[in-house]
Amino acid sequence: YDTVVIGGGPGGYVAAIKAAQLGQKTACIEKRDTLGGTCLNVGCIPSKALLHNSHLFHEAQHGFAKRGIDVGQVKLNLPQLLADKDKAVSGLTRGIEMLFKKNKVDWIKGSGQLKSPTEIEVALNAGGVEQVAAKNIIIATGSEPSPFPGFEIDEKQIITSTGALALEKVPEKMIVIGGGVIGLELGSVWSRLGSQVTVVEYLPAIGAGMDAELAKTFQRSLAKQGIKFKTSTKVVGSEKQNGKVLVAVEGAKSGKQETLEADVVLVSVGRRPYTEGLGLENVGISVDKRGCIQMADEFRTAVSNIRVIGDATVGPMLAHKAEEEGIAAVEYITNGHGHVNYNVIPSVIYTHPEVAWVGKNEQQLKDEGVKYKVGSFPFAANSRAKTIDDAEGLVKIITDAESDRILGAHIIGPNAGEMIAEACLAMEYGGSAEDVARTCHAHPTMSEAFKEACMSAYGKPIHF
């Protein structure tokens, strides 16, 4: 093979397809029975199905009547809710398999282990071993949930994100350890379905990496929905007792001890690179203390013809970042040129309201000594948001004080995850707030809030 990709997740399968499209004889080694990796099977995709449908359930219970829609008693059919999620996942995974066939990518089903810089031994799922020779190798093995001391995962009572996608009944009480993206999304799902959810976070604020102003707004919004928060709180340990899980916590500063009780505990304290059994030691590739494979120029490891992308190496653990790296790595192999702009990698939390951001936040710019301006616009002053009675949140644009170039965009509100793409495009082309503000936006749309935030950054908005 010209190129062999180890791992069939978003980074790996995209890299394999791109390599084939560029004329390389390509194979992808993946041990799951389906392609798509964590994201498609037990991550981004199934969680979005549950987030969407649980939001509809919550709206039917609490929002329909005020809109003039009387539906009587709304009941949850949890098995059907989960089946709908599974249907979405199976359809998309089969789609990747079809794309492999269309682009003539060989899928080798099994676990790959590096034997030399050009040899991979695959323990086949069907039994036996296959030796695969490759001029170029791309490691795209992804990540797995980080373990947490004192919590033994059983995916029934003490669960990771995987277990949270398949609970057989709605827990009366749920504790979420970690107030990051995964914990807040899945905590929202089960809260909407009727669980009493408490989020325990060691840091003073939720939404790691989020702009401080948005983080406060976000926490207030989720609290109004019934989710409880214990920030600046350290989790000490757990024990099971009488069918419940007791979680010992203490104040990160005060040291005040407390015991929380739950039916289910979701451990979502981040993820770590997955490189188990990969045989890195056979070829002289090392990992850092977090388990990340070290990456040099052009995504090369210590072995020049072996590259690494996605969660297995440094940077944000995001599917779209892995996809961009997969394409760029293949382009480097093919023609010596590839491109990923790490200043324009968006983050999204798919709760309600959604939160999305890209580029720098205020604190980062203060730390860097950069002079900046801020423009913001509330959805409460946006006509489309008001007409659909979904007007919580705001758009915040941060620009360079001298050049007006957009340095960061932070959105909390309806369709934030879609709207952030406009910020990414503007930033990729070095656009200014005035460039966006002078671009005609359709009326009435949510995107007008983005335009008016840009107007606010360099002048004044019209509607606020």
Beta pairing, strands 264-267 & 158-159: parallel
Instruction: Provide the CA 70 distance to its chain's centre, in angstroms.
Output: 36
CA-to-CA distance for 137 and 117, rounded, in angstroms? 8
Residue 444 preceded by cis peptide, ω within 30? yes
> Which residues share a beta bridge with 307?
138, 300
Helices H / strands E in the chain, number of each: 14, 22
- Cβ neighbours of 401 (radius 10 Å): 11
Interhelix angle 10-21/319-335, nearest 10 degrees: 30
CA-to-CA distance for 8 and 32, rounded, in angstroms? 8
CA-to-CA distance for 37 and 31, rounded, in angstroms? 10
8 Å CB contact between 348 and 412: no
CA-to-CA distance for 183 and 177, rounded, in angstroms? 7
8 Å CB contact between 275 and 293: yes
Phi and psi torsions of 128, nearest 5°: 90, 180
Interhelix angle 447-458/416-428, nearest 10 degrees: 50
8 Å CB contact between 206 and 231: yes
Catalytic status, residue 443: yes
Report DSSP letters for 13-60, one per residue.
HHHHHHHHHTT--EEEEE-SSSSSHHHHHHSHHHHHHHHHHHHHHHHH
Q: Of 62, 339, 443, 463, which residue is the catalytic one?
A: 443
Spatial CA neighbour of 396 closest among 301, 304, 461: 461
- Cβ neighbours of 63 (radius 10 Å): 14
> Which residues share a beta bridge with 271?
145
Dihedral, 290, 356, 88, 275 alpha carbons, nearest 10: -10
Which single residue is written with the structure tokens 């968006």? 346
CA-to-CA distance for 131 and 128, rounded, in angstroms? 10
State the catalytic residues. 443
